[in-house]
Amino acid sequence: MKSSESRYAVGVDVGGSHICSSVVDLDRGVIVGEPLTTPVDHTCTAEEIFSAWTTNLRELLSSAPQPVTMIGMAFPGPFDYDKGISHMDHKFVSIKGLNVGEILQARLLDFPGLEFRYVNDAGAFALGESHYGSAKGIDKVLVLTLGTGLGSGFVENNHIVREGDSVPPGGEVWDLPWGDDIADSAFSTRWIVGRYSALTGKVVKGAKEVALVYKTDEASRKVFTEFGSGLAKFTAPLLNKFGAKDVILGGNISRNLDLFLPAMKRVYGQKAMDVHVQASSLLDKAAMLGAASLFA
């Protein structure tokens, strides 16, 4: 297909410290050119936040290979993804209750006809992997992001499933009970850091530090074995209920999948479950591709 005949959309990943956007060729599932990142702190005023977002989008739209009117935006929750209104109290407090699309449209009048759609950031990641990444061609898949928190996306035929008996409320697993706490506490960086510290008395900043000493440090091996075992035990009933046999893992912790995958496989095997676990192939690009795929 010729470039001039391709369909383009913008995919936007909105984070607490920056906004990252890219032009996506929806037919080929690739990012055109380089993603554009603009720093903006979520604690800023509404004017500062929208000014930075507008600057980012104007520069990106101006560089697109042809006029683009479709913009998909990935936001953390709570957020009204139908109307484009933030309800967050922990981030972007100054824009709570404001209609993101209406404000951006008013600031981007030199780009007429813009249409905005919105998706949860973890859901965007899942859609990106489903449409264009490790989960492409898989009918049902559970996508988890493992990092500062636990994000989830239950995907069936390239659509996020948030309602029904086959998924938890909202399709979110972070707040499900697990052990003496919730899943978000057990399957995140802070658990790895805390568990390693409890075993060794050493203070580390992130999972990467623990992973680097895996070959020589018994405590590191114990941490990742426990992490993998727990993750498989947690996901097993979710997979059974959803009817999926595939798991895609993203986020910083997934970069060390080889360290905890054996433990996951053992648990699935003990439960006589045939589960295929893969790491994200798109990594930091998944959310932007997924946000753009809202128009695919």
Q: pLDDT tens-digit profile of 82-99?
A: 999 999 999 999 999 999
Please tell me whether residues 94 and 25 are part of one structural domain: yes
The single-letter DSSP state of residue 58 is H
- Cβ contact 140:156 at 8 Å: yes
Examine the pLDDT at 74 and tell me if it is beyond 70: yes
Structural domain containing residue 77: 3-123+286-295
Tokens 């399709």 correspond to 171
Average pLDDT over residues 2-25: 87
Please tell me whether residues 262 and 290 are part of one structural domain: no
pLDDT at position 1 is 38
User: What CATH number does the domain containing 216 carry?
Assistant: 3.30.420.40
pLDDT at position 2 is 41
Please tell me whether residues 191 and 85 are part of one structural domain: no
Residue 133 covered by a domain: no
- Cβ contact 79:73 at 8 Å: no
Please tell me whether residues 274 and 187 are part of one structural domain: yes
Examine the pLDDT at 160 and tell me if it is beyond 60: yes
Claim: this prediction has a pTM higher than 0.85: yes
The gap between the terminal CA atoms of the chain, to the nearest Å, is: 16
- Looking at the chain, the whole-number percentage of residues with pLDDT higher than 90 is 97
Which stretches within 151-256 are classed as H helix? 183-186, 189-200, 207-212, 218-242
**223 contact partners, CB below 8 Å, separation of at least 6:** 192, 195, 196, 199, 210
Please tell me whether residues 142 and 118 are part of one structural domain: no
Average pLDDT over residues 156-185: 96
Give the total number of structural domains in the chain.
Answer: 2
Please tell me whether residues 172 and 112 are part of one structural domain: no
Examine the pLDDT at 3 and tell me if it is beyond 60: no
Residue 25 covered by a domain: yes
Q: Average pLDDT of the chain?
A: 95
pLDDT at position 5 is 61
